[in-house]
Structure formats: C-alpha cells, structure tokens
Amino acid sequence: MRNNQLMARLEELKRERDAAVFAHNYQIPEVQDAADYIGDSLGLSRIAAETKADVILFCGVHFMAETASILSPNKKILVPDLNAGCPMADMVMPRELARWRDGNPGKVVVTYVNSSAAVKALSDICCTSANAVQVVESIPADKEILFVPDRNLGKFVMAKTGRRMELWLGFCPTHERMLVEQAERAKAMHPDALLLAHPECPADLLAIADYVSSTTGIIAYCHESPAREFIIATECGILHPLRRGNPDKIFHTFNPVADCPNMKLNTLQKMVWALEDMAPEVSVPKELADRARLPIQRMLEIG
Ligand code: 13P
Ligand code: SF4
C-alpha cells in the first residue's frame, strides 16, 4: 500500500480501537506525521500518564513503551516492532545493578529512563535528559549518588551541578560516534551556525556546544533562537520536526551515521499491522510495574 492509503487505514483503525499514536522525535518523517503526540522521553511519559485513549501505539523504542505501560497499567500498549530496543538500556543487567547497589548502602541510585523496567525497579529515582540536572539537584547534598547507565549524561550532570557521582559505564552507540573533530570541522564550514547537542554525546563535544538539551529542548531552542543556522549533534530523525517547524532556518548534521537503527525499525505499514492484530504488545507485569513506578513518579513530581 502507498503512504496515503496506509495513513487512511491507520485513521480508520485508530477510531475503531480508540487508539492514540505516540512518536518519539527520532522516528522517520511519515511515522511522526501520523502521530497524535510527538515528543522526548519526558514529554511522552507525561502524556502516557494522562491520555484517555484505551490503546497507545508507541512508536519509539522498547523502554519507552514499558514506561507507558508502567504509568498506564490499564491501557493496552502496542508497538510497531518488538525488536526496536535500546542498546544503552541493554548495557545494565538488573543482577549487576543489584550487586553494585547492595555494595554501596545509603547511596542514591539515579537511573536514566533509557533502562529496563527491572532496572528502574531497583532505583531510587529516574531522570531523562530533560530533567537529569534538576533530579540530581533535588538529592540532599550529603547523599552520594550512583548514576546508571549513561556515562556521558552522568558526566554532563556532574559538570552542571558540581556533584560527584559514581557512573555506570554505559553509552549510546549512536551518540558515542559523534566526534568533537567532526563538530569542529562543521563549525569551521558553517561559522555562523550554533552547535546544539544531546547530552548522550561525548564530553569533549558537549564542552564546545552552544546548547545541550533533550530532543524537545533542542527543538524548542531552535524555534525561539534568533539565530538562523544550526549544527545538530543528535540522531538525524530530529531534522524532520526542526525543518518542518522552521522553514526559514538551516540545519546541518555532521555525522553520516547519526542514525539509531532501532528507532528506524518502525514504519507506517507496521503501525497498521499492529492496530489490525492488536500486537505486538508491551506489558509490564503488575508486581514489577508497581516497583518501577515509584522512581518514575518521583521524577515526574520534580516538574
Ligand atoms: P530524549 O529523551 O531527549 O528524547 O532522548 C531519548 C533518547 O533515546 C536519546 O537517544
Ligand atoms: Fe538508545 Fe541511542 Fe537509540 Fe536513543 S539513540 S534509543 S539512546 S540507542
């Protein structure tokens, strides 16, 4: 089927199933264009907790759908492709985290939402790239912190807050490949452009960035900034909302492999199949969801 036929079928199925479509800012353009809500991890978590629809078709990666299931246990959470995972989330196993935590009694475990439900359930509080600094600032100064799993986000938060934290050595394979040398070359080629980066990028790149934020933070900054030209150091899916929302501005990427292969597994065809079959479903078992909800709610209360 062609895209317009798929879009029409999707609309029909959304009505039949009372479904809302959520899409992360990294999704391919046609998936974003078919979505009811587009956002970063934090924004989509908040909407998942509030939406009235019976079914959420979550176009992102697995941990995002799990978070929606944890926050909306009475809704059916579908995904277009169950293979869309997050390699960073897979870099921390619950058993290894439990051992680290048990070996450090009294320390506060702060866990980036790019993690499994089982890892969240072992944590004191979650954070996203949008609120990691505020979350860490909310922890009493005399408490020591274990930060899981992204070492780059962890280093960024340490630099911003002045707090020392022990870091898990996880990383995002897509952002880890964004090199400071490439960014410097891009800056030399486009001297009037601002460099905007996601905090999952390596620390040396973040050190030369003009602004560091979550995906939605980057989109908002570009929209509000009087600057006309930007170099974007994050996954290339973000270029779609940036260009659509700012037709008079220029956006450059500098990395030819700025692709998250997992985010790109979702397609319009798979979205239609998911609503036709009401599968694949992501459902976190109640006992685990109840434990994982606590650290997520603590984060959401921070604002
Ligand atoms: P955001 O929360 O900034 O959207 O980032 C999620 C992510 O997976 C970045 O790689
Ligand atoms: Fe995970 Fe990186 Fe893909 Fe984000 S871009 S979902 S952190 S692998």
Q: Whose CA is nearest to atom 4 of ligand 1?
A: 40
Decide: 6 and 272 in contact? Cβ < 8 Å.
Answer: yes
**Span 240-268, pLDDT tens digits:** 999 999 999 999 998 888 999 999 999 99
Decide: 154 and 165 in contact? Cβ < 8 Å.
Answer: yes
Q: Within a 10 A sphere around the Cβ of 228, how many other Cβ atoms?
A: 12
As a whole number, mean pLDDT of residues 21-40 equals 97
Q: Within a 10 A sphere around the Cβ of 54, how many other Cβ atoms?
A: 13
Q: Whose CA is nearest to atom 1 of ligand 2?
A: 86
> pTM value?
0.97
Does residue 47 sit in helix, strand or coil? helix
CATH dotted code for 89-171: 3.40.50.10800
Q: How far is the CA of 214 from the centre of ligand 1 (A)?
A: 6
The pLDDT-based confidence of 175 (bands split at 50, 70, 90) is very high
* Token pair for 268: 């319009």
pLDDT above 80 for 303: no
Whether ligand 1 lies within 6 angstroms of the CB of 214 is answered as: yes
3-85+263-285 to CATH, choices 3.10.20.30, 3.40.50.10800, 2.60.120.260, 3.30.70.3270: 3.40.50.10800
Same CATH topology for 3-85+263-285 and 89-171? yes
CA angle 161, 121, 174 (to 5 degrees): 60
| β-sheet bridge partners, residue 237 | none
Domain ranges, ordered by start, for the chain: 3-85+263-285, 89-171, 175-252
Contacts of 158 (CB under 8 A, 6+ apart): 164, 165
Tell me which of 63, 255, 262, 265 to substitute to probe ligand 2's pocket, judged by most ligand atoms within 8 Å of the beta carbon: 262
Closest atom of ligand 1 to 24 CA is 4
Q: Whose CA is nearest to atom 3 of ligand 1?
A: 214
Whether ligand 1 lies within 6 angstroms of the CB of 255 is answered as: no
pLDDT value of position 174: 98
Say how many CA atoms lie within 13 Å of 136 toward its Cβ. Answer: 26
Domain spanning 175-252, CATH architecture: 3-Layer(aba) Sandwich (3.40)
Whether ligand 1 lies within 6 angstroms of the CB of 25 is answered as: yes
The pLDDT-based confidence of 269 (bands split at 50, 70, 90) is very high
Whether ligand 2 lies within 6 angstroms of the CB of 258 is answered as: no
- Longest CA–CA span in the chain (Å) reads 60
Task: Report helix, strand and coil shares of the chain as percent, to nearest 5.
Answer: 45, 15, 35
What single-letter amino acid sits at 295? Answer: P
The rounded percent of the chain whose pLDDT value lies above 90 is 96
As a whole number, mean pLDDT of residues 110-126 equals 98
- Rounded Cα gap, residues 188 and 210, in angstroms: 14
